[in-house]
Structure 1
């Protein structure tokens, strides 16, 4: 077995244990369901693998679902709740966040084998980790023991989630607000090594960009022409790979793309090319472009930190029987 992979698994386990022992803030552990639901890991693996066999992109969608859950109300599964005022229908999530049916299928199986034991929030976190792993990314032990929140927060989703249109300093501030730092911004943006984005999220870079430039000058001209052709005459919902070099494979090509102005979203390329990025994130982009193993290590650390954002403590919240509605 590859020695660097063995080191990664060992480091991931140690990091998980360290975060799990931070005290009352977390109370999450790597072995939370070992006795109460030993089938958990096999069930989640099977459903995520099957979903990705049908659509490889689903790995990225499950990872995004976890991110968008944790940034609003903490990692409490609130993004799964149905209803017109739910987070699903917030502007950053509408026609964007996916994977709800996969979570539903996992939950249905778990309710058969170990009813009212595993929270929906934990299912989302674990499914995201397998989405990364089955895309070729690093393995890590997911901290578990979250409970499900009782309310969604649509306004929080509209205001708190980082936007691809925002300057880098604003994105950093939103990360800081939930306890994540500038390194986490760059590392978690690297999740865009897999997945797709809609034309609506980058079309402003393709025409009427500014008073002095029709196309974003930090966008490679050949890529810009290709994207203009893709998006022309559409409704903004056409999609393309966030990382055209390896659209479905988790690696450090995302960062290498930024060095040659082939970042798809403004917020991606801004990490390397914008004035804010030059001042605060450019050096990290260069580091991860040069060292994919370092990116994997730091990605695990940042994912564990993100997964530890304000989970409902102790007996707060509930274990939902159906992830779409409170009990």
Structure 2
């Protein structure tokens, strides 16, 4: 019989990890596979750690079907560093890059890129409070753009692309996938570069996964600071300096968990079940709960919603916490409420939220 407590964890990041992963990490904390050491204590140059990082890469390649002409890197600095780093590496001097702005994170990526060179905004949903995605006809790309950047899933505003933007031939598609990474199958071959902070859906805070098509490494300028140089980091196998070893180890365990679950198709079906359950509760509340995103743009990972007043929302969060439903307060920049339904969140937790929402409405409606 377990003696530990687990809450229903709806935190947007760092977020819930699979319980089997935590239990395995607990069991291996003091002695990793007979080494007499924790992974936190071992050299990143040791054969034991090389096996950990190489296995994690192999499992990631298998789950996503990553083609051989792509490099995988486990880096530091979060997706926020990638906002600047990708522009430094992939946008030649004098060139411009196209940005699709559908929420707070793609807007932040744009602002970082603007500091370093020429950018062009192809679509900006801010005027409509980031409630929708662009229609294909609205996207007029520069055929000479260094790349097109978009965010697959906006964590704060809860809009998620259902298919990739169609960009001009020869223009690389660059994507921030932080908050729906590994939640569903993806055709990596459509992308020049994918990056994702692990702490939302793939592991703990501290490691950022970058997947880059090899031909793009030829763009890296000379005299790039070494820790910002994709070419150097890719060629070193993410071992140019000490990587975030323990975060990579936990991410590796998450990848094994996903494989045992049946891969990304199986994960997607579970995620869709959870999100449909919560959206149904919102839609059937008669306006008591109001979703943020338009139905056709709704995220399966992050569900922001509002109520009639901030006082009622505060009461909702307070009572939810007493019921062990944690992390439902909306992002500080927009307020309201938000349920993040990441891979590791059990269906039972989504069901508990729905039951609480109905009960709260009966008592306070």
Q: Structure 1-normalised TM-score? A: 0.25
Select the structure of larger CA radius of gyration.
2
Identify, as 1 or 2, the structure richer in helix: 1
Q: Structure 2-normalised TM-score? A: 0.23
Identify, as 1 or 2, the structure richer in strand: 2
Higher relative contact order, structure no. (Cα contacts within 8 Å, ≥ 6 residues apart): 1
